[in-house]
C-alpha cells in the first residue's frame, strides 16, 4: 500500500472512530428539579423528629470540586446535600442522615463512597459486612455496614448508593452501571443514602445498626412515590 493510500485509510479510521464516539455519547439525563431533597424528606415522620445536631456530621465529600482522578472539576460534585439529625421520641435514640445527590454521574466524577470520606476526615474505617435493609413488606435494598472510629467516638454507618435505577455497593459496580447507561445513551443520576450513629464502644454497634434499619424503613414509608424512587430506585 502506498503512503497516500495508508494516509487515506488512517484518516478514514480516525473519522469513523470520532463518528462512533459521538454517536454513542450519552445525552439523555435526569431533568433539573426532578429531585428536591429538602422538599422530599420530611423533618418529622413516625416517632422520628429532626433536632439540632449535637455532634458534627462527617461531610459526604472529600473536596466538592475534585473528582476521583484528583483533577479539579468545573462543577460541584453534588447538586444537593441534605444532612439532618433525628431523635426517636420513644427512647431518645439518635440517627444522623446524610443524602448527597448528583444529577450527572461520570466515570471520574461520581459520588464519593463513605469509606473515603471518613478516612479523609481522620477516621479509621472497618468494613463490617453487607446487610439487607427491608423498606417495605416486599421491597428492600442491600447496604454496606462500616464502623468508623476516631479519638472521640465510634460511628456505625449503614449506606447504599443508587446509580440510575440500580443500587451499587462497590466502586467497580458503580463504574459498570455508569458505563452500561452510557452505552444506552443515558447519563445516570446518583445519590448516596447514609445513616450513622454515635456510640461509645464497639459493643454497641450491633444495636446501632438495627436502629438504623428501623429508621430507614420508617423514613421510606413516609415518602411519596417519587421520593422513594429517588433514594432507593425501583
pLDDT tens, 129-153? 999 999 988 899 999 999 999 998 9
**Residue-level pLDDT at 108:** 56
pLDDT at 211 over 90: yes
Q: Residue 194, Cβ neighbours under 10 Å: how many?
A: 25
Specify the DSSP class assigned to residue 58.
Answer: P
Identify which has the larger pLDDT, 121 or 6: 121
**Residue-level pLDDT at 71:** 47
pLDDT tens, 5-40? 554 554 444 444 433 443 444 445 554 457 899 999
Q: Is the dihedral of CA 132, 134, 139, 143 positive or negative?
A: negative
What is the b/e burial string over 78-97, where b = at least 16 CB atoms within 10 angstroms of the residue's CB? Answer: bbbbbbbbbbbeeeebbbbb
| 106-117: average pLDDT | 76
Q: How far apart are CA 7 and CA 196, in angstroms?
A: 60
pLDDT at 68 over 90: no
User: C-alpha angle 161/23/4, rounded to 5°?
Assistant: 135
**Residue-level pLDDT at 109:** 52
| 48-61: average pLDDT | 92
Burial class (CB in 10 A: 0-12, 13-18, 19+), 64: middle
Residue 113 C-alpha cell reads as 463512597
Q: What is the mean pLDDT of the chain?
A: 82
Amino acid at each position: 500500500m502506498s503512503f497516500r493510500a495508508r494516509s487515506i485509510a488512517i484518516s478514514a479510521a480516525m473519522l469513523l472512530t470520532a463518528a462512533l464516539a459521538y454517536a454513542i455519547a450519552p445525552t439523555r439525563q435526569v431533568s433539573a428539579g426532578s429531585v428536591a431533597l429538602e422538599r422530599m424528606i420530611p423533618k418529622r415522620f413516625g416517632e422520628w423528629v429532626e433536632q439540632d445536631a449535637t455532634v458534627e456530621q462527617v461531610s459526604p465529600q472529600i473536596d466538592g470540586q475534585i473528582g476521583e482522578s484528583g483533577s479539579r472539576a468545573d462543577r460541584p460534585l453534588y447538586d444537593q446535600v441534605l444532612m439532618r439529625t433525628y431523635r426517636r421520641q420513644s427512647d431518645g435514640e439518635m440517627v444522623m442522615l446524610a443524602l448527597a445527590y448528583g444529577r450527572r454521574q461520570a466515570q471520574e466524577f461520581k459520588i464519593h463512597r463513605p469509606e473515603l470520606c471518613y478516612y479523609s476526615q481522620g477516621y479509621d474505617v472497618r468494613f463490617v459486612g453487607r446487610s439487607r435493609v427491608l423498606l417495605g413488606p416486599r421491597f428492600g435494598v442491600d447496604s454496606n455496614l462500616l464502623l468508623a472510629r476516631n479519638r472521640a467516638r465510634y460511628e456505625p454507618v449503614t449506606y447504599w448508593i443508587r446509580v440510575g435505577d440500580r443500587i451499587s455497593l462497590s466502586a467497580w459496580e458503580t463504574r459498570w452501571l455508569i458505563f452500561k447507561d452510557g452505552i444506552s445513551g443515558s447519563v445516570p443520576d446518583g445519590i448516596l443514602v447514609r445513616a450513622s450513629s454515635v456510640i461509645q464502644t464497639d459493643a454497641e454497634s450491633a444495636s446501632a445498626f438495627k436502629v438504623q434499619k428501623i429508621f430507614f424503613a420508617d423514613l421510606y414509608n413516609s415518602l411519596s412515590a417519587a421520593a422513594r424512587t429517588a433514594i432507593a430506585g425501583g
